[in-house]
């Protein structure tokens, strides 16, 4: 996939070929759906807060099509605390828009295995200096992270930190009045998930027991 561009502002052959395959095959086959979305707007089934990691293809994980998911990605799939300080808050803006404008019925925080952001935070805890302008500051949101011993014993220390990050983001979502109110009214559900890149397995957080376990194959209606 990684190619050297010969000229400035020129897509690599891989990306260009992929675009034209999309136009000829995917878009053409689902043209009616795309036209409907263009005219009527979006009504996604969920907001998914995922990591920037290129190995985590959110739409592929849920076999989702165009218009199905409203996705925001950032380093380590973090939801910042509610901070109406007039500064720039991209993730918070997406959360607000999804809840108050799109009225999504579900919000998913999707963590994943071998997360570079979580790994960097763990190195920081060991005393490693920050080597970036922005990532280190961004990861300070994890300060005070509560990592469960039971998670470490069941899934390993690396995964336990990733699961703790998902829990913290779920807690931060409830700091938003619009989220908390809708959840209390039963019109919005919050979900904490963790995707294992190698196996494809997804763990889900049980709100009652505060434990993670594999997603079931079916849902009782």
176-179 own/partner pairs: CB under 8 Å, 24+ apart: 176/82, 176/92, 176/95, 176/96, 176/99, 177/82, 178/96, 178/99, 178/100, 179/95, 179/99, 179/107
Residue 102 makes CB contacts below 8 A (sequence gap 6+) with 42, 43, 44, 47, 70
State whether 13 and 85 are in the same domain: no
Locate the DSSP E strands across 5-95.
46-51, 69-74
Asked whether the predicted pLDDT for residue 5 surpasses 60, the reply is no
Asked whether the predicted pLDDT for residue 7 surpasses 60, the reply is no
Q: Which domain holds residue 10?
A: 1-41
| pTM (predicted TM-score) | 0.93
State whether 63 and 105 are in the same domain: yes
Higher-confidence residue of 133 and 15: namely 15
State whether 3 and 85 are in the same domain: no
- What CATH number does the domain containing 68 carry? 3.40.1050.10
Asked whether the predicted pLDDT for residue 132 surpasses 80, the reply is no
State whether 10 and 90 are in the same domain: no
State whether 30 and 105 are in the same domain: no
Q: Tell me what percent of the residues of the chain surpass a pLDDT of 70.
A: 95
Higher-confidence residue of 61 and 217: namely 61
């Amino acid at each position: 996939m990684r190619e050297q561009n010969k000229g400035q502002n020129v897509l690599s052959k891989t990306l260009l070929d992929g675009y034209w395959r999309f136009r000829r095959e995917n878009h053409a086959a689902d043209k009616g759906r795309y036209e409907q979305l263009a005219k009527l707007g979006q009504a996604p089934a969920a907001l998914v807060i995922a990591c920037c990691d290129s190995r985590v293809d959110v739409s592929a994980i849920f076999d989702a099509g165009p218009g199905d998911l409203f996705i925001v990605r950032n380093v380590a799939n973090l939801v910042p605390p509610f901070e109406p300080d007039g500064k720039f808050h991209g993730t918070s803006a997406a959360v607000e828009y999804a809840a108050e404008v799109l009225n999504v019925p579900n919000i998913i925080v999707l963590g994943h295995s071998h997360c570079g952001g979580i790994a960097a935070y763990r190195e920081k805890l060991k005393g490693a200096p920050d080597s970036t302008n922005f990532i280190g500051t961004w990861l300070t949101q994890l300060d005070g992270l509560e990592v469960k011993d039971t998670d470490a014993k069941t899934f390993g220390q690396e995964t336990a930190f990733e699961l703790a990050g998902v829990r913290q983001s779920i807690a931060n979502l409830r700091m938003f009045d619009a989220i908390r109110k809708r959840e209390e009214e039963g019109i919005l559900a919050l979900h904490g998930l963790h995707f294992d890149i190698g196996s494809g397995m997804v763990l889900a957080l049980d709100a009652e027991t505060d434990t993670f376990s594999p997603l079931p194959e079916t849902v009782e209606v």
